[in-house]
Structure 1
Amino acid sequence: MGRWEAEDYGVLADRACWTMFGFTAVVVGLRIYSRTLNGRNKQHGGLGLDDYITIGCLVLFLATCVLINIGSHYGLGKHFGDVPKEDLEMALKYNVIISAVLIWTFSLPKFVIIATLKRILDYGTKTTILFWALALSSQACILATSVWWFVQCKPVEYGWNKVTIEGECADVSVLANLGYFTSAYSAFLDVFFALYPIPFIMRLNMPLKGRVAMSSALSLSILACVVSIYKLAIFGEVFTILRQDPTYPVPYLDILGMAEGFVLVTAASLPTLGPVFRVAKGKFTSAHRSRSVSHSQLDAGSKDHSRAMSSNNWDNFKGHRLEDPASSIGTRPSLDDIPLVTTSRAGRNQNERKDIQKTMEESISSETLEHGLQPR
């Protein structure tokens, strides 16, 4: 089915947005669980500002999905002539409300990226100012677009009730220009936050495999840029249709807006799921080891020998689970808790090694001297 061939984009938007919300809820739930596991000995269970912003974005996604569901109930997404007259006013009203709210779903998640990078890299004041200046300027553009959806008509009610109210609306080109600029700026920020941190992540004091995995996860936000570019490509068609068929094309943009926010939140959450992956891997390894023990018991020729093997293997297994520091979830640092390798730290470690060597040499010299002074 080609673009603009569907009879009802409201139903499609309803299904697509709820599906993305469900997947996002699972990812965010795993993120909170992972942070709670990793920081169970810390205050607030290891949760940070990035986690609370992520939860806020999830609440915004939920509100948007509810509004889209209500809008589709009134016929939003159908052709203007197919919407029942008694529902037409409510359909146009929710069209404005949804459009004004939904643009925040792909704008606020940029703060999730910034806060997550702060927790991973602990960047300095200049980088903080740069990141927040870019993000806040983006929010200013989003706010202007969101407000314009309401104030483009005077009075405001004329935007969805042109039958009983007299008024006028600004040309659609103003909204189109705002949409072009906002989406283009959003696409630029998606690329910037995906690529800028990679050199710094590759300097983290952790295995190369972990650094590559973290960089790859954060780089997935480039997919949000792809969505923004696609929106830019079809904006001309959307606003052309919007002049004659105001209830039809906007839900299609709603799907793309939710998709962009969904990609950003997912990309920012994947690097935090290390403890969950380790728990899953540990359970898989334990199950495999248990099957191996059972197989050994069946092959044993003696019941006493089999019982001894079972007890011995269980003791080893239990000790591995409880005492091995590499397997303990509470003692292993998550990826975002590992600091950068700095020159000063390396120099300090080198000085400490020199002091230890000097102390050992003095101790050996002292022992030799005492041995030489002993009477024969």
Structure 2
Amino acid sequence: MIDRGMGFPADGIDNHGWKLYITSLVMIISSGLFVVARCIARYSIHKLGSDDVAIIVSLISSVLLSTYIQLAIHHGYGMHKDDLEKPDLRMALKMFFIAQTPYKATVCLNKVAAILLYLRLFVTKSFRVWSFVVLGVVVGYSIGGIAATIWQCVPIKGAWDKSVDAKCIDSNKFWVAYAVLNILTDVMVLALPIMPIMRLQTSRREKLLLCCIFLLGGFVTITSILRVTSVSNSLKNKKDMTWNFIDRGVWTLIEANLGIIAACLPVLRQPMGKLFPRIFGSTKKSSLYYTGPGGPAKGYNLSDIAAQSPRPGLWKSDASRSEQIVSIG
């Protein structure tokens, strides 16, 4: 077997695996920096929470995704099938097959991390119920998707070695169905914090700013849609998978790592506010307050909320009701 390095053309043989190689490096470095910044911001104030752990595990999964993608490139992924020797072809397809599992795990964990953060910030009963419903949907379809990916062929080896007599599911329908479910759950996760934010007693500008911060995850949804398009295009010529699946792989890497970055942004609002005060912050520190019979409650900074308590989140209680307190400062 021949090592194709970083996937650049050599000896007059077409190879565009370099697109995947460069994308994987850029995205994993970028997402890694955001996760490190998130952990420093949280740990400097409080201990890390479950949402932080989820995003760290997601980053590890993304590293595995990039590793297997690069191994596939080393074995000729990015070249035409006819230009590869059979051992290289089988190994390239095997690495691509293995990479599908950490991709799905990363996408799942990104959404789980976002929902766990929501549960830390917004803790009204109805919101918690809907959050756990969406969390169940995300985890459920992700487990099903990973299981279907691993056992798409019986025996499993048939997924990358077409010489094996195997029974396989219709991978075309499965890939499209998974991609559509992925987009739907993206929208569900994005929609969760909107109503709680709109009910906060603060200025319209602050509400809009908070919505924009949480809706930055919408860029992930856009990449998911673009990935669906690339998946659809790649399925038109599966006979030359090692060549035609490159653009699809690029969007896969972008989607997975952009999801990590988007999940970190709400936590990094305070440090980003210092760097870009006109966009992410204001000239004075402001917090949300609930004013009850006993007077105003204490405010908290959004990026500082990390401590665990017997009752999740931040509350102001009186004799008749409990009100939620969330900071935007």
TM-score, normalising length: structure 1: 0.66
Q: 1:169 offset after TM fit, Å?
A: 4.2
1:250-265 counterparts in 2 under 5 A? 250-265=245-260
- The one of 207, 212, 216 equivalent to 1:216 is 212
Partner of residue 186, structure 2 = 190
Q: Which residue of 1 aligns with 2:175?
A: 179
- The Cα offsets for residues 314-354 of structure 1, whole Å up to 9 and x where unpaired, read as xxxxxxxxxxxx7xxxx994215687797959999xxxxxx
Question: 1:293 maps to which residue?
Answer: none
Asked whether the equivalents of residues 34 and 273 of structure 1 are also in contact (C-alpha less than 8 Å), the reply is yes
Alpha carbons of 1:218 and 1:177: their partners in 2 closer, same or farther (altered >3 Å)? same
CA distance 1:152–1:192, shift in 2 (3 Å): closer
SS in 2 for 1:158: helix
The Cα shift of 1:159 comes to: 3.0
Other-structure match for 1:10? 17
Q: Residue by residue, what CA displacement relative to the aligned partner does 1:292-321 show, whole Å, maximum 9, x if unpaired?
A: xxxxxxxxxxxxxxxxxxxxxxxxxxxxxx
Whether the aligned pair in 2 keeps the contact of 1:153 and 1:170 (CA below 8 Å) is yes
Aligned ranges 1:239-278 → 2 under 5 Å: 239-242=235-238, 244-277=239-272
Amino acid at match of 2:265: L
Could you say what the CA RMSD is over the residues aligned between the two structures, in angstroms?
A: 3.4
Q: % of aligned pairs identical?
A: 20
Q: Which runs of 5+ in 2 are unaligned?
A: 1-12, 278-284, 286-297, 306-312, 323-329
For residue 122 of structure 1, give the secondary structure of its aligned residue in structure 2: coil
3-state secondary structure, aligned to 1:78: coil
- Map 1:1-376 to 2 at 5 A: 7-37=14-44, 39=45, 45-124=46-125, 126-163=126-163, 166-170=164-168, 174-204=170-200, 209-242=205-238, 244-277=239-272, 333-335=300-302
Q: CA deviation at 1:29?
A: 1.2
Give the secondary-structure state (helix, strand or coil) at the position aligned to 1:8. Answer: coil
**One-letter code of the match for 1:57?**
S
**Do the aligned residues in 2 keep the contact of 1:113 with 1:264 (CA within 8 Å)?**
no
Structure 1: state its 5+ residue gaps: 1-5, 40-44, 283-325, 349-376
What secondary structure, in the 3-state scheme, does the structure 2 residue paired with 1:245 have?
helix
Q: Matched residues in 1 for 2:145 and 2:260: separation?
A: 22
Q: Describe the shift of the 1:129–1:258 C-alpha distance in structure 2 as closer, same or farther (beyond 3 A).
A: farther
Distance 1:219 1:189 in 2: 14
Going from structure 1 to structure 2, the CA distance change for 1:204 and 1:335 (only over 3 Å counts) comes to farther
Q: CA deviation at 1:132?
A: 3.0
d(CA) in 1 for partners of 2:321, 2:86: 77
CA distance in 1, matches of 2:276, 2:216: 24
8 Å CA contact 1:9, 1:249 repeated in 2: no
- Contact residue 42 and residue 303 of structure 2 kept, 8 A: no
* 1:241-275 residue CA offsets vs partner (Å, 9 max, x unmatched): 11x11323334323222322323322221121244
Larger Rg computed on CA atoms: 1
Structure 2 counterpart of 1:237, one-letter code = N
Does the Cα contact within 8 Å between 2:21 and 2:70 map onto a contact in 1?
yes
Is the contact between residue 201 and residue 215 of structure 1 (CA under 8 Å) also seen in structure 2? yes
**TM-score normalised to the size of structure 2?**
0.74
- C-alpha separation in 2, matches of 1:19 and 1:28: 14
Q: Whole-Å Cα distance in 1 between the matches of residues 156 and 272 of structure 2?
A: 51
Counterpart of 2:209, as a letter, is A
Residues 183 and 228, structure 1, Cα contact 8 Å, conserved in 2: yes
